[in-house]
Chain A
Amino acid sequence: MRRLSVLMVLACSLAVAGEPRISVSYSRFTLPNGLDVILHEDHTVPLVVVNLCYHVGSADEKPGRTGFAHLFEHIMFMGSKDVPVGKFDQWLEAAGGDNNANTTDDRTDYFEDVPSNALALPLFLESDRMGFLLDSMTEAKVNAQRDVVKNERRETYENVPYGLAPILIDENLYPPDHPYHWPTIGSMADLSAASYNDVVQFFRTYYVPGNASLVIAGDIDPVKARAAVEYWFSDVRSGAPVPIQPVPVAHLTSEKRVVHEDRVELPRLYMVWNTPAEFAPGDAELDLLASVLAGGKTSRLYKRLVYDLQIAQDVSAAQVPARLGSEFWIVVTARSGHTLTEIAHVVQEELSRIKNDPPSHRELERAVNQYEASFLDRLESIGTTANLLNTYVRLTGNPDYFNEDLSRYRALDPCDVQAIARSWLRDDARVVLSVVPNGKKELAVTNETH
């Protein structure tokens, strides 16, 4: 079979004057087994990052087996046909490398960074587990990681003040059959139920080259890097096409009030809405709205709640993007002697204000300037650049989406921010979670706030 042609885009410039246009050079090819490969050259530091993204996440799980995609991520480190258990980390460290992985609703990322002379090692390791994980898989390995993941849940959620809030929010923001309803970490009961057979099925269904994209970024020779990828992945067979899940729409039809008691000194309010998906129209608008509402001392909510009234200790807002649909969060921690009803009342006033009148040009410019600065920061590290390339290719099909991403923000004016607040931050379709100290339910949001 004739090799697929290489798509080359040259032009690596980061202009400084006026409106910088950012474009990131890359080359791209697809292996016969379906693996999508992107190479990016950057010789600033003698380092290479290998970032392999499998397009499977906790959204692909079924109720009763929540937490499985993340547990599987852990199991991927327990060895494969040619990599005895423990050697994955030992061999990488011996080469001066680091590695980690990360699972979300939408995808599982594996990444290694190594000095540039050691590129072959992560390619050997990743191809070996992509092709041959099951060859050395045992029930004991599954059990071992089960205990580690349960402790991860304890350390990240259960033994952390307000730790269970994200889990409670998702339970209420999405209906039970929506794949974002359950947390990526899963429940203890489902983690206990995960079996060796589940591991086999999951691997065969989702861990196939056609369901993955590989980014190699850093101090590389693209010709040699390509040859190395083709060599190491040449015996990894393509799998069956991955079943396509229907994309449900999360659509609240009322406000949901939830109260949770926790071992905390101060009550905290969470207001969360369903919003447009990552990179969809509305996503950038909501990102800027978050900045206008709570980005910095002079933002709407901070200035009123923390600076002027001093009834809150902290406030934050964020558009949290995801593939099937995003979430818009407002979080406020009350000061001693203040209730969440008081807090919610002020938040409500500010929401009405922004819906009735667009923000000023200066407020919008401030938000865009901050976003542009953070954008530049991401390009400093090849690990982050590699991650962005992979995110862009997964969600838009175009690795060099940098300029399109930035342009979405530059194209907006204050009326867009006002309009998005009106369309999506509805009073009658949101989750309002009050986390209160044990025995202090009266501090929760109780009265009508609208």
Chain B
Amino acid sequence: MLLVPVLRAQPDRSAPPGAGPPPALRLPPIQHYSLSSGTKVVLLERHSVPIVQINLLVRAGTSMDPAGKGGLASITAAMLTEGAGPRGALEFSDAVDYLGAQVAASAHLYTTTVALHMPLSKLDSGLVLLADLVRRPKFLASELARVRTERLTTILQMRDDPDILASLIFRRTLYGEHPYGAPSLGNAASLASMTVDDLRGFHGAYFIPANTTIIVVGDITGAEIMPKLESAFGEWNGNVVSPPPVPPVPQKREKTLVFVDKPGSAQSVITIGRIGAARLTDDYYAIVVMNALLGGPFTSRLNMNLREAHGYSYGASSEFDFLPLPGPFVATASVQTDVTDKALTEFVNELRGILKPVPDADLERVKNYLALGYPGEFQSVAQIASQLGELAIYGLPDDYFNGYIGRIRAVTQSDVERVARKYINTDDLVFIIVGDRKEIAERVTALNLAPAKFLSVEDVLGPAPVLEGGK
């Protein structure tokens, strides 16, 4: 321990200073309540700053979009804030802004999150607006028309963005027609078919008390928040509807390379991956450690290779997207166009390399990074609410946070080897490259990574949506 110096001594720079025992994760208790409507409430008090985060998690997501109505969950979420209760779209927005509040609703695969973030001092007014948007959205046809045009325009603009193109075609290639492969916004045809009846139907079916958990984090106690929530959501009704089951993910796996041509690109966006693991897999902690070694923090292998050793990229990384069913494993980087082939070779080298036994020092370092850095994941009310949301969605126990560090530490070298072999199989990878075909396609196909398909942007996104020239 070198924190207390001798008078004016030269510092000892012969080795990095050690640290004392790491501080423990100190979280206030997680409190559970129920509203008279049946909605569960989860509260964690945080009194450092007078703000509050309230997240309503509604079990309604994009994986429940009916056939032909891709984008329904997403547009329903967006339309919640376009007029609710007694207020039209403009009035509602003005009311939220005037409070200094932020309100956002977004649909993910299984859950729509409606989030309210605001100073404590005006919470009562904020809750009135939140209750209106969740329980009494107007879903006006005129607003739907405007939001539809906005989304069609967003789809048009996706043609500009190589990262979005890569992500869309990656998911579609990996999952095919499975809901995990579908774009959350839908497409021009499905958006054109959307009516307010569709939205009302979706909302009516799924936005009900039994289907909802309310997460509260901030400068407020249970005794203070519960009466307010009861007032906003207590007399809320709705019959339980079972969502359509999501089919299992496809098992057929084949090596594929897809090249999307984007002429004039200064870089190629490379996305490589395969179907990974479900959130509740027994392999979870071992995968987290293995992925951190491969493509997590700065010193991870992909980053050190592609960025620091070779200078091909500003950064490379990998991640496992843990979902109720196995989500994708994906490794990505944007690399200078003229080294695309070399970068791909290095990617494959590292994906093969992670199968070999991991040196002890590397394993210790990455476990320390995850374990010792864990308390830092609980700083802001939004972060904490998101952590609590994960517990709610996956039915994880309250002591999950306290047990996390120990479970990371328990991962062994042979655990890492085992999950690397199980989940990183270079024989069935999907390679997506979005870049300048004329410049690099020949050298890339010469690598013989996989049977290659060449697509245009139009092949990925369909024809450009036809938009009226304004109102």
B94–A366 CB distance below 8 A:
yes
B18 → chain A, closest Cβ, in Å?
Answer: 8
Chain B residues in 8 Å Cβ range of A128: 13
Evaluate whether A93 and B299 lie within 8 angstroms (CB atoms) in the complex, with A14-B50, A313-B150, A379-B49 already known. yes
B470–A151 CB distance below 8 A:
no
Q: Encode contact with B along A81-119: 1 for CB under 8 Å, 0 otherwise.
A: 111001101110111111100000000000001011111
B50–A335 CB distance below 8 A:
no
Q: Encode contact with B along A370-385: 1 for CB under 8 Å, 0 otherwise.
A: 1111101101111000
A370–B470 CB distance below 8 A:
no
Evaluate whether A121 and B376 lie within 8 angstroms (CB atoms) in the complex, with A309-B471, A369-B98, A370-B100 already known. no
B398 in contact (CB, < 8 A):
no
10 residue pairs, one from A and one from B, having the closest CB atoms? A96-B372, A147-B311, A337-B469, A373-B100, A46-B23, A231-B5, A297-B93, A161-B160, A369-B100, A120-B17
B101–A373 CB distance below 8 A:
yes
B341 → chain A, closest Cβ, in Å?
Answer: 16
Chain B residues in 8 Å Cβ range of A144: 308, 311
Q: Which bucket holds chain A's interface residue count?
A: 35 or more
Of B60-68, B251-259, B263-271, B388-396, the segment with at least 4 beta carbons within 8 Å of chain A is B263-271
A378 → chain B, closest Cβ, in Å?
Answer: 9
A322 to B378, CA, bound (A): 32
Chain B residues in 8 Å Cβ range of A42: 48
Of B151-159, B196-204, B349-357, B424-432, the segment with at least 4 beta carbons within 8 Å of chain A is B151-159
B94–A298 CB distance below 8 A:
yes
Determine which of A116, A265, A381 lies in contact with B159 in the assembled complex, contact meaning CB atoms within 8 Å.
A265
20 pairs, CB–CB < 8 Å, chain A vs chain B: A47-B375, A93-B297, A94-B368, A96-B368, A96-B369, A98-B376, A120-B17, A148-B308, A152-B314, A155-B267, A219-B23, A231-B3, A297-B89, A298-B97, A335-B470, A336-B153, A337-B468, A366-B94, A373-B102, A379-B49
A309–B3 CB distance below 8 A:
no
A124–B17 CB distance below 8 A:
yes
A97 → chain B, closest Cβ, in Å?
Answer: 7
Of A222-230, A280-288, A348-356, the segment with at least 4 beta carbons within 8 Å of chain B is A222-230
B225 → chain A, closest Cβ, in Å?
Answer: 15
A260 in contact (CB, < 8 A):
no
A373–B314 CB distance below 8 A:
no
Chain A, Cβ-Cβ closest to B364: A94
A268 → chain B, closest Cβ, in Å?
Answer: 10
B266–A365 CB distance below 8 A:
no
Chain A residues in 8 Å Cβ range of B113: none
A151–B335 CB distance below 8 A:
yes
Chain B residues in 8 Å Cβ range of A296: 93-94, 97
A residues neighboring B (CB under 8 Å): 14, 16-17, 20, 42, 44-47, 81-83, 86-87, 89-91, 93-99, 113, 115-121, 124-125, 127-128, 144, 146-148, 150-152, 154-156, 158-159, 161, 219, 224, 227-228, 230-232, 234-235, 263-266, 295-298, 303, 307, 309-311, 313, 335-338, 362, 365-366, 369-374, 376-377, 379-382
Besides A296-B93, A336-B469, A376-B49, 5 more A-B contacts (Cβ < 8 Å) are A93-B299, A148-B307, A158-B266, A234-B11, A265-B464
Chain B residues in 8 Å Cβ range of A234: 5, 8-11
B298 in contact (CB, < 8 A):
yes
A380–B48 CB distance below 8 A:
yes
Chain A residues in 8 Å Cβ range of B119: 372-373, 376
B173 in contact (CB, < 8 A):
no
A232 to B11, CA, bound (A): 6
Determine which of A14, A93, A116, A265 lies in contact with B298 in the assembled complex, contact meaning CB atoms within 8 Å.
A93
Determine which of B26, B314, B368 lies in contact with A46 in the assembled complex, contact meaning CB atoms within 8 Å.
B26
Chain A, Cβ-Cβ closest to B119: A373
Chain A residues in 8 Å Cβ range of B193: none
Number of B residues, CB within 8 Å of A: 93
B360 → chain A, closest Cβ, in Å?
Answer: 12
B2 in contact (CB, < 8 A):
yes
A371 to B97, CA, bound (A): 10
Q: Encode contact with A along B14-46: 1 for CB under 8 Å, 0 otherwise.
A: 101111111111100000000000000000001
Q: Encode contact with A along B291-328: 1 for CB under 8 Å, 0 otherwise.
A: 00000011100001001100111100000000000000
Evaluate whether A362 and B98 lie within 8 angstroms (CB atoms) in the complex, with A311-B470, A380-B381 already known. yes
B23–A115 CB distance below 8 A:
yes
Chain A residues in 8 Å Cβ range of B97: 295-298, 366, 369-370
A279 to B424, CA, bound (A): 53
B467 in contact (CB, < 8 A):
yes
A117–B21 CB distance below 8 A:
yes
A14 → chain B, closest Cβ, in Å?
Answer: 6
Chain A residues in 8 Å Cβ range of B262: 263
Determine which of B19, B99, B334 lies in contact with A95 in the assembled complex, contact meaning CB atoms within 8 Å.
B19
Chain A residues in 8 Å Cβ range of B311: 144, 146-148, 151
A379 to B335, CA, bound (A): 37
A19 to B11, CA, bound (A): 47
B288 in contact (CB, < 8 A):
no
A382 to B48, CA, bound (A): 11
B223 in contact (CB, < 8 A):
no
B16–A124 CB distance below 8 A:
yes
B94–A155 CB distance below 8 A:
no
A14 to B51, CA, bound (A): 11
A347 → chain B, closest Cβ, in Å?
Answer: 16
Chain A, Cβ-Cβ closest to B96: A296
B228 → chain A, closest Cβ, in Å?
Answer: 16
A45 → chain B, closest Cβ, in Å?
Answer: 5
Chain B, Cβ-Cβ closest to A91: B16
A146 to B311, CA, bound (A): 8
B445 in contact (CB, < 8 A):
no
Evaluate whether A98 and B297 lie within 8 angstroms (CB atoms) in the complex, with A121-B17, A159-B265 already known. yes
A311 to B150, CA, bound (A): 10
B120 in contact (CB, < 8 A):
yes
A263 to B365, CA, bound (A): 43
Chain A residues in 8 Å Cβ range of B150: 313
B90 in contact (CB, < 8 A):
yes
Most chain B CB within 10 A, of A82, A158, A219, A310, is at: A310
Most chain A CB within 10 A, of B5, B101, B314, is at: B314
B471–A310 CB distance below 8 A:
yes
Chain B residues in 8 Å Cβ range of A295: 97
B469–A151 CB distance below 8 A:
no
A20–B50 CB distance below 8 A:
yes
Determine which of A127, A219, A297 lies in contact with B90 in the assembled complex, contact meaning CB atoms within 8 Å.
A297
A266–B334 CB distance below 8 A:
no
Determine which of A16, A95, A98 lies in contact with B368 in the assembled complex, contact meaning CB atoms within 8 Å.
A95
A16–B8 CB distance below 8 A:
no
A298–B93 CB distance below 8 A:
yes
Chain A residues in 8 Å Cβ range of B299: 86, 89-90, 93
A116 to B50, CA, bound (A): 24
A373 to B98, CA, bound (A): 11
A211 to B264, CA, bound (A): 43
A219 to B304, CA, bound (A): 32
A255 to B149, CA, bound (A): 34
Chain B residues in 8 Å Cβ range of A120: 1-3, 17-19
A19 → chain B, closest Cβ, in Å?
Answer: 11
Q: Encode contact with A along B434-471: 1 for CB under 8 Å, 0 otherwise.
A: 00000000000000000000000000000010011111
B224 in contact (CB, < 8 A):
no
A337–B470 CB distance below 8 A:
yes
Chain A, Cβ-Cβ closest to B470: A311
A181 → chain B, closest Cβ, in Å?
Answer: 23
B2 → chain A, closest Cβ, in Å?
Answer: 6
B218 → chain A, closest Cβ, in Å?
Answer: 10
